[in-house]
Amino acid sequence: MSCTLRVRWTLIANRFPRPWRSCPRCGTQRAFECSSKFRLNASGRRLDAWLVYKCTTCDDTWNHTLFERRNARDLDPDLLSALEANDPSLVERYAFDVAALRRFAHRVEEFAGRVARKEEMANGPAAPARLEITLATPIPFAIRIDRLLAAELGLPRARISAMAHAGHITTAAGLNRPVRDGCRVEIDLTVGDADVILRNARP
C-alpha cells in the first residue's frame, strides 16, 4: 500500500495584473485597472478590438490592442460573440496575458492569487510518510512556491527553506520559482511538523 498522501490545490487569481503607463490626464505613471469590457470598431469589413483599462486615479481610459484591421470573415464567430458579450473567460484570457501587456506598459503589477480548493486525490493512508501536492492553475501567478507553501501549511518560510535544503521538500520547478500549472511538490513527513502540515494540506 502506498504511504503517500496525494492532494491537489487549485489556485485562483485575487485580481487582474495592472499595467503601469503614462496617464495623459495625470501627467505621470499610473496603474491601470482592467474594466472587463471590450471595445470593437468596424471599418467596412475590417475589425479592431481592444480590452479597456482605466486609470486607478482619474478613470482616464487606455485601450489595450488585441487586434487591428482583421477581416471579419477571418474571425471565429464564437470569438466575435464573446467579444460582443464581454465574456468573462475571454476577458481573463487577455487580462492575464502579462507578456502582451508588457509590450505596452512601463511595468506590470502582478498579484499572488490564492488557494481556492484543496482535494484529496484518493483515499490516502491513515499515517502517510510522504505528501505530494499538485498545484493546479491555468494562469501563472507571481507568488513563489516557497511563499505559497509557508502561507498554506502554516510554517515559517525559514522552516520551508531548511526542509528544502535538507532534501525533505522537493520539486522539479524549484521552490524559488513562481507557481505553474501541474507543478508537484513532495514533502517527507517523517522529519517533524507532520501534524501541522497534514492539517493544513488537506481539505
Rounded CA-CA distance 83/71 in Å is: 15
Q: 163: exposed, middle or buried (C-beta count within 10 Å: 0-12, 13-18, 19+)?
A: buried
What end-to-end distance do the CA atoms of the chain give, in Å?
A: 22
List per-residue pLDDT tens for the chain, 203 residues long. Answer: 469 999 999 998 878 999 999 999 999 999 999 999 999 998 888 999 999 999 999 999 999 999 999 998 899 999 999 999 999 999 999 998 888 999 999 999 987 677 889 999 887 787 899 999 999 987 777 788 999 999 999 999 999 999 999 999 999 888 998 888 999 999 999 988 999 999 999 98
Rounded CA-CA distance 62/122 in Å is: 48
Rounded CA-CA distance 177/78 in Å is: 36
Which among 90, 71, 92 has a CA at the least distance from the CA of 81? Answer: 90
Q: Which three cell numbers stand for residue 57?
A: 486615479
pTM, two decimal places: 0.69
Rounded CA-CA distance 172/56 in Å is: 39
Q: How far is CA 184 from CA 117, 135, 137, 189, 196, in A?
A: 16, 6, 12, 16, 20
- Residue 133: per-residue pLDDT: 97
Q: What dihedral do alpha carbons 173, 128, 193, 198 form, nearest 10°? A: 80
- Residue 1: per-residue pLDDT: 45
- Residue 45: per-residue pLDDT: 86
User: Would you kindly state where each structural domain of the chain is located, as residue ranges?
Assistant: 4-14+112-201, 18-109
Q: How far is CA 101 from CA 16, 32, 94, 96, 174, in A?
A: 11, 11, 9, 9, 26
